[in-house]
Amino acid sequence: MTLAVLTGASRGIGRATALGLAKRRTNLVLLGRRSPELEETLQLAERDAERVTWVECELAHSDAVERAAERVLAELGTPDVLINNAGVIERLPIEATSTLSWDAQLAVNLRAPFLLTRAFLPGMRARKSGRIVFVASISATLGSRHAAAYAASKWGLVGFMKSLAEELRDSGLVTVAVLPGSVATDMLRGSGFPARMSAEDVASTLIHYALDANPAHNGGVIEMFGT
């Protein structure tokens, strides 16, 4: 039974991914803060998943991320799949972007995926199998006004994945980054871009690379521009 860890499952792409993984009968672990939205995702996923576990985690705090990873390893074992989906954005011009805002966006979007990957990697290496999927953004390939911190975090995420892929050569492990464009979710509000795809479109892609894609995709960057 596949053990899959997912962040950012309270709504949007994360919720769609959680429900898609549940339909694949995974042993699903959702990392995140308690909220009515996450509770709803848990209830919906429980209809299909082999098992659903919520592990409380404030992804903006490094010690909380490390504790959550330790709990997963101690109680459930090494994941087969890690999907780093959680992301935050604060739309501000650069002059109005505080150091606090900059740090908060990079903490969730870039540092948390690094910490989770680092925590689960030894067990995956020992088992010689595992898949790590990063949800980046088309913003990792271009600049957008009022989104400098977000874009910087997503460019950094792709760079991290590429370096990880080099370290995973001949290991049996696979890592990729998926770069969605304009998705019909709350995060798109205020961007000025029309939606070109649904959360379910992105979720199906994430699940494909997490569970089904040929290992030769290691290091792949999958851009999604929509229709």
Pick from 110, 115, 217: nearest CA to 174: 217
Pick from 184, 183, 177: nearest CA to 225: 183
> What is the architecture, at CATH level 2, of domain 3-224?
3-Layer(aba) Sandwich (3.40)
Beta bridge partners of 5: 29, 82
pLDDT value at residue 188: 63
Active-site annotation holder among 23, 128, 150, 162: 150
Query: Is position 209 annotated as part of the catalytic site?
Result: no
What is the pLDDT confidence band of residue 139, given thresholds at 50, 70 and 90?
Answer: confident
What is the pLDDT averaged over residues 119-145?
94
What is the pLDDT confidence band of residue 226, given thresholds at 50, 70 and 90?
Answer: confident
What is the pLDDT averaged over residues 11-21?
97
Enter the pTM of the model. Answer: 0.95
What is the pLDDT averaged over residues 197-223?
96
What is the pLDDT confidence band of residue 130, given thresholds at 50, 70 and 90?
Answer: very high
What is the pLDDT averaged over residues 72-77?
98
Active-site annotation holder among 23, 128, 154, 209: 154
Q: What is the pLDDT of residues 170-200, one digit of tens each?
A: 999 999 999 997 776 777 677 667 777 899 9
Query: Is position 23 annotated as part of the catalytic site?
Result: no
3-state secondary structure of 75: helix
Question: Which residue type does 37 have?
Answer: E
**Separation CA 203–CA 154 (nearest Å):** 18
Alpha helices by DSSP H, listed for 109-191, are: 112-127, 148-167
Domain ranges of the chain: 3-224
Tokens found for residue 78: 């090494």
